């Protein structure tokens, strides 16, 4: 069995929930504290040992490529000023991974975006990390998924327990327990089901380790929910263990995850990550307490410095 060495990051969506901010800029470039969301995702792939990163991009996505390329003008200016701290930060994203890019053309859905990786990936299993989904670096997910993939030679998805009222926003999994507390066998998947027909409140989140057979399945997957080619529909087929592809397993994630494509979650991500930062937490924490106290006592928010 081939080892996973490649990460695919779909980042070609239109980001309509974030308009007008995403009119001319990809949502994956929105800053989360002082790094664009996409950098956290690439860092996570590299941290899990996946240095070969293929990004699926589209129109208006040049900023993504530029972010992982050299910025000679900025570098020269920082060098001249002797600002080595910032220079290091600028160079860090350039040297982070072996970056590759392919365009999706029309954004016909996540399944269609993943299919664009076929030529680059070849015959080995590979990881998919959604470009707008951040997993807190202090919590382990992808490494555990790679471990489960290696042990079971199957396709692995990440599952998060959500409020049943929220399940209509995700793919939902029907599952069976296994001999491992954090691993389930996925027996079925439904994309964005209504609460009353959802097979569980276990939602698929934006990390996958896929066997390459997924490409053949995606090639014949018909547009599903929203008229888009859904990765969930292809995985539903694989869950039935088509032609001995090993089936689908789920790793239940109990850590912190931020969907930066959603405005409220995006704001929460910035606050949660900034309060724990050495350079910003000291200033932010007391301000936040005062601000929250003001909300409790109905003080207009403008009264807090």
User: What 3 state SS string does the chain have?
Assistant: CCCCCEEEEECCCCCHHHCCCCCCCCHHHCEECCEEHHHHHHHHHHHCCCCEEEEEECCCCHHHHHHCCCCHHHHHHHHHHCCHHHHHHHHHHHHCCEEEEEECCCCCCHHHHHHCCHHHHCCCCEEEECCCEEECCCCCCHHHHHHHHHHHCCEEEEEEECCHHHHHHCEEEEEEECCCCCEEEEEEEEECCCHHHCCCCEEEEEEEEECCHHHHHHHHCCCCHHHCCCHHHHHHHHHCCHHHCCCEEEEECCCCEEECCCHHHHHHHHHHHHHCCHHHHHHHHHHHHHHHHHHHCCCCHHHCC
Among 107, 193, 199, 223, binds ligand UTP (CB under 6 A): 107
Q: Does 185 bind ligand UTP (CB under 6 A)?
A: no
Q: Are 212 and 122 in contact (CB under 8 A)?
A: yes
Which of 233, 167, 154 is CA-nearest to residue 195?
167
Q: Is 56 in the site for ligand UTP (CB under 6 A)?
A: yes
Q: Residue 36, interface with ligand UTP (CB under 6 A)?
A: no
Stretch that binds ligand UTP, among 10-18, 60-68, 85-93, 235-243 (CB under 6 A): 10-18
* Closest distance to ligand UTP from the beta carbon of 15 (Å): 4
**Of 270 and 280, CB closest to ligand UTP:** 270
Residue 17 binds ligand UTP, judged by CB under 6 A: yes
Query: Which residue, 37 or 78, is less far from ligand UTP as judged by CB?
Result: 37
Least distance CB 20 / ligand UTP (angstroms): 12
Binding test (CB under 6 A) with ligand UTP, winner from 4, 7, 8, 13: 13
Task: Give the contact letters, 233-272, x = binds to ligand UTP (CB under 6 A), - = no.
Answer: ----------------------------x-----------
Instruction: For residue 55, report the phi and psi dihedrals to the nearest 5 degrees.
Output: -100, 130
| Binding span for ligand UTP by CB under 6 A among 80-88, 130-138, 242-250, 292-300 | 130-138
Total number of residues that touch ligand UTP (CB under 6 A): 20
For position 108 contacting ligand UTP by CB under 6 A, the verdict is yes
Q: Verify binding: residue 232, ligand UTP, rule CB under 6 A.
A: no
- Indicate the residue among 231 and 273 with the shorter CB distance to ligand UTP: 231
Closest chain position to ligand UTP (CB): 13
CA 101 and chain centroid, separation: 17
- Is residue 64 near ligand UTP by the rule CB under 6 A? no
**Residues paired with 41 in a beta bridge:** none
Nearer to ligand UTP, 21 or 150 (CB): 21
Q: Closer to ligand UTP by CB, 48 or 205: give it.
A: 205
Which residues lie near ligand UTP (CB under 6 A)?
10-17, 56, 104, 107-110, 112-113, 130-132, 261
């Amino acid at each position: 069995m081939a080892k996973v060495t490649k990460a695919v990051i779909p980042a070609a969506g239109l980001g309509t929930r974030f308009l007008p901010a995403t009119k001319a800029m990809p949502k994956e470039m929105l800053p989360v504290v002082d790094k664009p969301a996409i950098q956290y995702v690439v860092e996570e792939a590299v941290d899990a040992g996946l240095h070969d990163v293929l990004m699926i991009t589209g129109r208006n996505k040049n900023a993504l490529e530029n972010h992982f390329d050299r910025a000679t003008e900025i570098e020269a200016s920082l060098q001249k000023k002797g600002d080595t701290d910032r220079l290091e930060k600028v160079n860090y994203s350039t040297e982070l991974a072996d970056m590759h890019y392919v365009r999706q053309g029309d954004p016909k859905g996540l399944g269609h975006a993943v299919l664009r990786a076929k030529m680059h990936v070849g015959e080995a299993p590979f990881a998919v990390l959604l470009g707008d989904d951040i997993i807190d670096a202090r919590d382990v997910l992808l490494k555990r998924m790679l471990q489960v993939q290696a042990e079971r030679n199957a396709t692995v998805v990440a599952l998060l327990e959500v409020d049943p009222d929220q399940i209509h926003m995700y793919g939902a999994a029907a599952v069976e327990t296994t001999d491992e507390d954090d691993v389930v066998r996925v027996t079925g998947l439904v994309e964005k089901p209504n609460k009353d027909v959802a097979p569980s409140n276990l939602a698929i989140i934006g990390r996958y380790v896929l066997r390459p057979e997924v490409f053949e399945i995606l090639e014949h997957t018909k547009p599903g929910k929203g008229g888009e080619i859904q990765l969930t529909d292809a995985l539903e087929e694989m869950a039935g263990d088509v032609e001995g592809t090993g089936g689908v397993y789920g790793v239940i994630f109990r850590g912190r995850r931020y969907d930066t494509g959603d405005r409220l979650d995006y704001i929460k991500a910035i606050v949660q990550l900034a309060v724990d930062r050495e350079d910003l937490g000291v200033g932010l924490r007391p301000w936040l307490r005062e601000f929250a106290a003001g909300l409790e006592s109905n003080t207009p928010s403008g009264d807090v410095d």
